Every structure is written in C-alpha cells, then in structure tokens.
Amino acid sequence: MPAKYYVTLTNYGAELVAAAHDLQSITLTEMVIGDANGIPYQPIDHTDLTQLVHQTAAVEIREVKVENNSATVSAIIPANVGGFNIHEIGLKDASGKLVYIGNYHGAYKPVIAEGGGGELELVIDIKATAGAQALIEVNPLSISATKTWVLEKFNELMEAINNKEDIKVGDLFITTLNFADSAAVAAHKKYGVWEKFGDGHALVARASDTNELAPEFMKTIGHSDGEYQHKITKSEMPEHDHIDEGSPYNKLVASLGDIIPGDGDGMGGINPAGTASPNYNSTYLQTSDITAAQFTKMTIKKNGAGQAHNNIQPSIIVDVWKRTA
C-alpha cells in the first residue's frame, strides 16, 4: 500500500543530491509548515515548488540522526505558534529553497490563547535511494532545545557539580558531620583518601617570620604547642606584697590561728593587750598586740591548691579531615 503521507525531493533538492555524489553534505536549516490554503495535495505532483503553497510557520531543525541509508529529521513547533491546520511541510537549506516537500494529515495546531495548545514535535524519516546517498546534516548554528533535553542537561550538570572534587590533595574538609572513619568521608564526598586532622587542636593562621610577638612554633605549618591547662609558676605570678594599706601598722596582719595556743606562756591565744584592745576581735590580731615570743611563732598563712587553670576560650566543636590522595 503506497504511503499516504510522505516527503520527497523537490527538483531543486534532486539537483543538490546529484551534485553531492557522496562527497559533501546537504545542510538543512529549517522545517517549514503550511496549510496549503486548505487544499491538500500530493507532494510528488509539486516537486517543482521551491516554497510551500502557503507557509504558516518556520522552525529550526532540532536534530538530524543519520543511520545507514536513512535520516531522521525532527523539529518542534513551540506552544505559542499555531492557529492553523497543517497540510504541508518542507525542509529548506541555507538558500531558503525547499529541498524536501511533504504532506500532512491536516491536524490543527492550536495556541494556548485558544484554550489549548503545547509543543508539537514533527519527525520526518528520509530514506536515500541509489542516486541520493548524500548525507543530511543540521545547521550547526541552529540551536533548539526541548524541555526534556533541558532537564536532561540540567541533571547532568547537577551531577557534575555534586561530584566535583572541590577539595584538593593537602586541603582540609571542615564539617559538622561526625564520620566514623576516612572511608565514611570518601563515601560522603565521593572521592579522595582522608585522614583525621587536628585532634582537639585549635586552628591558627601561620604567623609571618617578621611577627616578633608570635612564638616560633606558630611560624611553621604543621607545628603545634600550647596546653589545655597550665599551672602558674612562681616567676609567672604577679609581683605583690602583704601590706594592708588601710592599717596604721606597716606589718603583717595575723589571724588568731597563726599564734600557736598552749605554748607555755599562759596566754593560750588570748589577746596579750587585753580584751579592751581596739585591735582585737574574734578573728584578727594586729602584730603590735602580741609579744615578741608570739611573733616568732607566727607564720604567713598559705592559700590555694596549686591546681592548673583552664586556658580554653569559649569554643564550638567541628570535625576536620585532611585529603591525602
């Protein structure tokens, strides 16, 4: 049964094919659509045409696939193009003339303003004959993309971004995720070999060689020093004395417990100046109110436990991994 709807070479197209002789390509630039003024026709009877009977739209060719002796040409009529019946189609080259002419079944192409519409993809299969073995190519300067194609390319781009090796060998990966080991980091990043870095150390920017205030260990990457806790030495203590600036006595203020009671002098820790002495209370005793014998037994009371103090500033904890390969 002969095909009812088909495309065929125009006379102009046949001349192109004859001139090609397998040595060059025929470059198609656009697909044209028409309504044939509402009068359908057989393409074989109109091969002398270089234009459609009544062209209503022209779209760029989206893709041409060539396999063996056949080519598949596809184009998309956008959603905003329409308002006509399609009775004729054609393929043009850069000269603007029809290389192929064909008929269509008269389907109506609506636009959205009419309450319907959408993209319409037209696909034309062309089989070469013995005298027409020239290749057919799409215009390389023409670009047309379907939503499916755009989504496919977008997904490819997102996958490439997600798999991008943003951390190079020797750089650090700082994260709030708690990975069990280097393999877990590699599974998360999808690349690399990793090792734990820092182990409880604060990260400090390397000091320049001319920084006189910075200790030497801060001037070399990878060096570490410092303490979690530090016990102050005698030389690190602030210089101070034990003089009570508010006392008329420029001597030590001793507590009663500093005088050893029951020392045989009969005083037994009692104020030697008498209870009426203005310098006596239940806790303190001025050194002017004690005897020389008692003074020799006085000691400066010690305080403090000698524990190390905390050197860590307010901190928030993250995990750090170094890429090694």
Burial class (CB in 10 A: 0-12, 13-18, 19+), 254: buried
The 3 state secondary structure assigned to 131-159 is CCCCEEEECCCCCCCCHHHHHHHHHHHHH
Q: How far is C-alpha 281 from the geometric centre of its chain's CA atoms?
A: 73
pLDDT of res. 302:
64
In the predicted structure, residue 141 carries a pLDDT above the cut 50: no
DSSP bridge partners of 174 = 320
Greater model confidence, 115 or 92: 92
Contact 79, 119 (CB under 8 A): yes
Domain ranges of the chain: 7-149
pLDDT of res. 289:
56
pLDDT of res. 322:
93
Give pLDDT tens digits for 184-193: 999 998 899 9
In the predicted structure, residue 142 carries a pLDDT above the cut 70: no
Tokens of 205: 């920017």
DSSP bridge partners of 237 = none
Q: For 230, phi and psi rounded to 5 degrees? A: -140, 130
Mean pLDDT of the chain: 76
pLDDT of res. 290:
58
Q: Kindly report the number of other CB atoms within 10 A of residue 1's CB atom.
A: 3
Greater model confidence, 161 or 182: 182
| Strand, coil or helix: 70 | strand
Give pLDDT tens digits for 233-271: 888 888 766 555 554 433 444 444 444 344 444 444 444
Q: What is the pTM of this model?
A: 0.43
Contact 206, 216 (CB under 8 A): no
Q: How far apart are the first and last CA of the chain?
A: 67
Q: Kindly report the number of other CB atoms within 10 A of residue 210's CB atom.
A: 7
